[in-house]
Amino acid sequence: MANNNKTLSAAGHAKKDEFYTQLVDIENELRHYKEHFKGKVVFCNCDDPYESNFFKYFAINFNHLGLKKLICTCYAGSPVVYTQLSLFGDEEVIGEEPSDKKPYKIEITHVDDLNGDGAVDLTDVELLLRSVDGKPTLLKGDGDFRSVECIELLKEADIVVTNPPFSLFREYVAQLVAYDKKFIIIGNQNAIHYKEIFPLIRDNKLWLGFGFQGNVGFFINTHYEDYAKSSQHKEGMIRVSGVMWYTNLDVTKRHEDMILYKSYSPEEYPKYENYDAIDVSKTAEIPCDYDGLMGVPDTFLDKYNPDQFEIIGLAESSLGVSIGLSANLTEEQLSALKAENPSFRRGNPIYRDKNGVLKKPYSRIIIKRKK
Ligand SMILES: C[S@@+](CC[C@H](N)C(=O)[O-])C[C@H]1O[C@@H](n2cnc3c(N)ncnc32)[C@H](O)[C@@H]1O
């Protein structure tokens, strides 16, 4: 998978949450879910409707998708709240003063051809927002997705779709699960390893969507420095590697069997020293004829079909312990592993012996073929 998570990790740690999703990326993902939206209430709960392309996507496609309702709420902590109406190329402030920035919500139950040009497009959405039917209303609180009024809106929703703050991803997903909501959201690839997230993946309560090409996203950015190499920099964007869509809506790719062409041999697929499983270093090379436990890289999740394989666990940290992984390294083994990889930490790693050298793979998910 992508190798440079610097920017996204920074988002998690320094709460750099202000970058915005491009319409093209939303379209590319959501085209796979069309059948899920008919008659549904969609809630975008981290979205300033005047800024968010999620709002724009659902408003323009309201009739095409057959939505029942679209709700968007925005957060008072957002530096853009109430200041820009960039979707429509103008600027407006709702409230007495520009400094009187308050979060608001928009609820839409229909989008009509208001300008009578024979089509429903962004101009009609703009007219709707300026009419009584579509006018934004102020929230009482700060628009935090965890606030009482936003939770009331969440209860009303069928599907939540957004790019939430990465710094609050664990809490964000926990709330969706607690309220038993369907969702399509963007998150950091590292979230796969969170002890709060991985069990949801293992238990088939959350999986990967179709994703960004090479797991790299370009997000609209006016706040942060873009660390991308100049050849990869796009003006007005921040390049974010290790980014993916997470969902619990059924998608076709989840039912496609991986075509496996390699046969098992003990030479090619060595067992770990401290766990009864073979090491498979590339997802495409999962042997087609091995019935025991296998350790595979995270890329497996892109191809995971729950009818073909069962996920047993993650071979690291407390999640590793819960599947019986015990490192119990001697000082000698520890220094051998550290010599091989200076950033090596104890943390219950899985490791193997390759020609007398102990090796810890980057990350391994333990899987088993289903009969
Ligand atoms: C990564 S940005 C994405 C914005 C928008 N969803 C999009 O995709 O363009 C995350 C957004 O979540 C907002 N946010 C941060 N903390 C929040 C909270 N506690 N509740 C709701 N929104 C929050 C931020 O202000 C920011 O605008």
pLDDT at residue 86 in the model: 54
Q: Rounded to two decimals, what is the model's pTM?
A: 0.90
- Protein residue closest via CA to atom 20 of ligand 1: 144
pLDDT at residue 50 in the model: 83
Query: Does residue 7 carry a pLDDT above 70?
Result: no
Please state the atom number of ligand 1 nearest to the C-alpha of residue 145: 20
Please state the atom number of ligand 1 nearest to the C-alpha of residue 77: 25
pLDDT at residue 326 in the model: 76
Probe residue for ligand 1, chosen from 46, 148, 240 as the CB with the greatest number of ligand atoms within 8 Å: 46
pLDDT at residue 20 in the model: 93
Q: How much is the average pLDDT of 130-159?
A: 92
Please state the atom number of ligand 1 nearest to the C-alpha of residue 78: 25
Please state the atom number of ligand 1 nearest to the C-alpha of residue 219: 9
At residue 4 the predicted structure's pLDDT band, cuts being 50, 70 and 90, is very low
Query: Does residue 65 carry a pLDDT above 70?
Result: yes
pLDDT at residue 338 in the model: 79
Going from the Cα of 121 to the center of ligand 1, the distance in angstroms, rounded, reads 25
Query: Does residue 94 carry a pLDDT above 50?
Result: no
At residue 1 the predicted structure's pLDDT band, cuts being 50, 70 and 90, is very low
Query: Does residue 306 carry a pLDDT above 90?
Result: yes
Query: Does residue 68 carry a pLDDT above 50?
Result: yes
Whole-number percent of the chain with pLDDT over 70 = 87
Going from the Cα of 51 to the center of ligand 1, the distance in angstroms, rounded, reads 11
Going from the Cα of 138 to the center of ligand 1, the distance in angstroms, rounded, reads 17
Query: Does residue 5 carry a pLDDT above 60?
Result: no
Query: Does residue 80 carry a pLDDT above 70?
Result: no
Distance, CA of 260 to CA of 67 (rounded, Å): 40
Q: How much is the average pLDDT of 176-190?
A: 97
pLDDT at residue 340 in the model: 78
Rg, Å, the chain Cα set: 23
Quick: pLDDT tens for 315-357.
988 898 899 887 777 788 778 877 877 767 666 678 888 777 7
* Antiparallel, parallel or unpaired: β 159-162 and 41-44: parallel
